[in-house]
Amino acid sequence: MNLASEWIARGVSKLRTSEPATAASEDPKPAPKAAPVRSTHERLKATLRRGAEVLPPRVLRRLMEDLQAASAEQVSEVEGGRRARDVIDWYASAAPEARQDLWLLICEQFGPDAERLQRARQHYDEADSEVERSQAEIALRRALTSARTRLLQRFAVPSGGMRFLLDLRAELLELPKSDRRFAALDAELEHLFSTWFDVAFLELQRLSWDSPASLLEKLIQYEAVHDIRSWTDLKNRLDSDRRCYGFFHPRLPGEPLIFVEVALVDDLSDSITPLLDENAATADISRASTAIFYSISNTQAGLRGVSFGDSLIKHVAQTLSAEFPRLRTFATLSPIPGFRSWLAKNGTPLLAKMSDKPRGELARALGLAPQATLDAAILLEAAEKAAQLPQQSPVRRALLWCAAHYLGKESHNGRPLDPVARFHLGNGARVERLNWGGDPSAKGARQSFGLMVNYLYDLKKIDKHRSLLAQGRLPVSRDIETLLKG
């Protein structure tokens, strides 16, 4: 090949950028570095969009002006709310990435005045008397009240504004926990919601078959524990021997924040099947002595961290006691959603703690030598047909022992591992009884091999149980203590 041919060949090979490089080719040039992420302060001063930025500077500046107009101190709440409506309307048609630019603006541009906050904190630290400290505290509180707070309050003013804020926070909560860019906005919304949705501003309403159809549809939509399969199923849950109550907020009419379904029976329920049986005979409520809370559903993802479930249960218990003086027992029939997954991860070391006799019986039932190491995977495999296990089965007894340990011993920072246990024990209940085969559905088998649990609300011991929990001790009944002893 002559020199001209070699020169042409080299030129052609350089143009073939889409072909993969070979061992004989020259080292590729390093990929250009990604453009550094700019703050909204930098982007507002810029002319052109850069990198992965969504909104161009011109649009970002216009959005910033709308936010400033809505949060302006000199305008009234009504006028601020009217201006906030413009942003809400823009948000409704904005892409998710563009919405995040709005969140960034709210986080970075509307925070507290850092210098004012520092001065207020210094004055508080240097206060020499209670009078000076009280005055300094007032100044510190005012310094902490940022333009962001005022802006979010203005968003709540127009019709649909509260719904907008709840949905916005629900979107925030869907982001990966590692994404901390919007932490300040999330924290401020949670703080405002804890005030706006305080139980003092909520109304307890009974929901019945005579409630508006739009409200009944909400029950079907939001039911989170036992799916409502049909209108007949719903009617059964609202029959004369049942009660359903929800908390409502005046700014969200026709929208329950949380609701509870109650069965009026004559003893602790050990299975969800008869409670959901559409053909079961209606109970004689004049003889009812027990109220079973068998489903509690939060409806607003944006209210995560704002707790009013304990208040709902107390209000419902008081309401039922007034209507049915014979009621003496208030308890739940609850799923154990975290049990199976926890046992799969932690079962092997737990099984090693079993006493010798039940451990040897379980080993033989699993086809192992009496002193063999018990692997949780083998136990889980044997438990696949849990519903068919006889009462004295070592596998069945082992699962009950493990479940009692999970609910009565396992905690993190003093809080139960299981989310449902965390809710009820945090509200002052105790772990009362485990029920084998309580939920024979596919969901029940997936979560807990069909096991369900009763949490008992002894209205005279709620504070005692909370005190135990604060000490890191999970309140349990004697039945659970007996199971734990093996």
Whether residue 461 contacts residue 350, with contact meaning beta carbons closer than 8 Å, is answered with no
Q: Cα separation of 182 and 104, whole Å?
A: 7
- Between the two ends of the chain, the Cα-to-Cα distance in Å is 88
Query: Residue 163: is it exposed, middle or buried by C-beta count within 10 angstroms (0-12/13-18/19+)?
Result: middle
Q: Cα separation of 40 and 223, whole Å?
A: 41
Identify whether 424 is a catalytic site residue.
yes
The catalytic position among 71, 269, 295, 334 is: 334
Q: Cα separation of 243 and 291, whole Å?
A: 9
Q: For residue 136, how far is the Cα from the chain centroid?
A: 37
Whether residue 379 contacts residue 398, with contact meaning beta carbons closer than 8 Å, is answered with yes
Q: Cα separation of 421 and 467, whole Å?
A: 16
Residues near 421 by Cβ (< 8 Å), separated by ≥ 6?
336, 407, 431, 453, 455, 474
Torsion over CA: 354, 359, 365, 370 (sign): positive
Whether residue 454 contacts residue 334, with contact meaning beta carbons closer than 8 Å, is answered with yes
> Helix crossing, 77-93 with 147-155: angle to 10°?
80
In the block, residue with structure tokens 């009496």: 370
Return the closest-CA partner of residue 426 out of 367, 373, 468, 485.
468
Integer angstrom CA distances of residue 135 from 112, 117, 143, 169, 461: 19, 14, 13, 34, 41
Identify whether 334 is a catalytic site residue.
yes
The catalytic position among 226, 424, 448, 465 is: 424
Which residues have a catalytic role annotated?
334, 424
